[in-house]
Amino acid sequence: MSSTRPSAGIEAITVHVPEHYLTLDALAAEHGVDPAKFHSGLGCRSMAVPHPTQDTVTMAVAAVRDLIDRYNVDPEEIGLLICGTETGVDSSKPVSSYVHGLAGLGPQCRTFDIKHACYGATAGLMMACSWAHKGRKAIVVASDVSRYQPGSPGEPTQGAGAVAMLVSDRPQVLRIHDSFEAVHTLSVNDFWRPTYSPTAVVDGRYSVACYLSGLRSSWREMCEMTGRCRDDFAYMLYHLPFPRMSWKAHTAIAEVETGIDLASPSSDLEPEKLVYTQKVEPALWAAQEIGNIYTGSLWLGLAALLEGEPTSSAGKLVSLYSYGSGSCSELITGAIGDDPTAWHGRIGLGAALTTRTQIDHDLYLEFRKMELALKQNGSYARSEIPLEKRLPSHASTLYLGVKDHRRVYRPGADWQPGTDQPRVQIREDEPPEAWCDMWMLGQEPPWKVQ
């Protein structure tokens, strides 16, 4: 690879978090479980719960709009939009196409989704870096709602959210080291969601084993190709199906490098706990409050690190491990930008968490019920918009149901709670596919406000 090749990576990053959350104390009480099982065993304290009018599309749109607004991005400069998701809303139309229209990007833009469980956004990022090497800009957005059956072992790890990243040859947030590839792929059935099921199926212990196997392999590859070891990295970030997984990952790498079996009763874990506190814990606090956001999990950790330690993280080397069940793993290394003012006050993570609303278990179940109802054709015409007084107060876009087999999205400000119909009324002579595009392009909107 030519030494003159320009650097590429993340120029800007934002996070969107749903406005509602359920504490795991409340979930534990409902199921008669000791809360310590969730707090200590999983490392979780609460989980983000999207309102039924919020989905993979609306969260992605919110994150992308914030990216454009907070970093003064020219939408016309974006020539590539990639959405990493495993909770798409249609079997053919990608989430990225909805986001493209609702976020107001220009027509000269490639859009597509990448699906490979939780690895999708990382795959998109690496592809976007190749695009950025040519002097062009891309947006990669990870957006997901993780769902498991109520009462299942996976339920307390649920979460929802979106992370948007501007990728360019001006990587002020994270410069990706792409002179090597440390990838590990193996076809396994550790986690999947059948097309007939609204929730995922997971073989928990097997999935953890697959995760760690991919980590060991990709870590060894990285070390062999770069000559680096964990002492070279100030921070080590991991995909987090649950926060406590980071300790398993940390000890796995320690065993690779030291040859010591840390699971042995005779092993002294105190030195490793100190390293873990310094290199890993600074990226965990957001996942502890939000839960698993699938494709965005690793990148949520990066955002948490940047917000939590903006000054001390600046200029530091970092390793990032991405894992997608099925499976594909990749170990990435990079350098955080030298100037924290490039991202300070713009990510939006801490501010979003401090303004959330806590809900109880009954409302959580009602949200889930209404979410399923809004997926059915005709749900828009039936006005199945639940719990009017608890609509997301800051949502830039609302999902209002399905009309004539088409999903209906509206600007958040144009929904009036307590009415039988949305305040935004559709002109019957206007093709639905034109709604979002015309509104964002500044043309006369295809609806009228009553």
What tens digit of pLDDT does each residue of 147-181 get? 999 999 999 999 999 999 999 999 999 999 988 99
User: What pLDDT was estimated at residue 15?
Assistant: 98
Domains in the chain, start-ordered, CATH in brackets?
A: 9-357 (3.40.47.10), 374-449 (no CATH)
Handedness of CA 157, 322, 122, 7 (dihedral sign): positive
**Within the chain, how many helices (H) and strands (E) appear?**
13, 19
Beta strands per DSSP E along 222-347: 235-238, 317-324, 328-336
What is the structure's pLDDT at 418? Answer: 41
What is 362-420 written as a DSSP string?
A: HHHHHHHHHHHHTTSBTTTTTT----GGGS-TT-SEEEEEEETTEEEEEEGGG--TT-S
pLDDT digits (tens, 9 = 90+) for 424-434: 333 344 444 43
Q: List active site positions.
A: 86, 118, 239
What confidence tens digit (pLDDT) does each residue in 10-39 have?
A: 999 999 999 999 999 999 999 999 999 999
- List strand residue ranges (DSSP E) for 269-423, in order: 317-324, 328-336, 357-358, 397-403, 406-411
The ranges of the chain with pLDDT < 50 are 1-3, 389, 414-450
**Residue 335 φ then ψ, to 5°:** -120, 125
pLDDT at position 395 is 76
The pLDDT assigned to 413 comes to 54
Paired strand residues for 303:
none
Query: Under the phi-then-psi rule, with left for phi > 0, alpha for psi from -120 to 50, and beta for the rest, what region is 323?
Result: beta
Q: Give the per-residue pLDDT at 357.
A: 93
Angstrom distance (rounded) from CA 309 to CA 311? 6
Report yes or no: 166 and 12 within 8 Å, Cβ to Cβ: yes
pLDDT, residue 383, reads: 62
Alpha-carbon span 67 to 396, nearest angstrom: 13
Alpha carbon distance 108, 287 (integer Å): 35
Token pair of 295 as six digits: 């494709």
At residue 355, the 3 state secondary structure works out as coil
Q: What is the DSSP letter of 5?
A: P
Which residue type does 359 have? I
- Whether the CB-CB separation of 52 and 374 falls below 8 Å is answered with yes
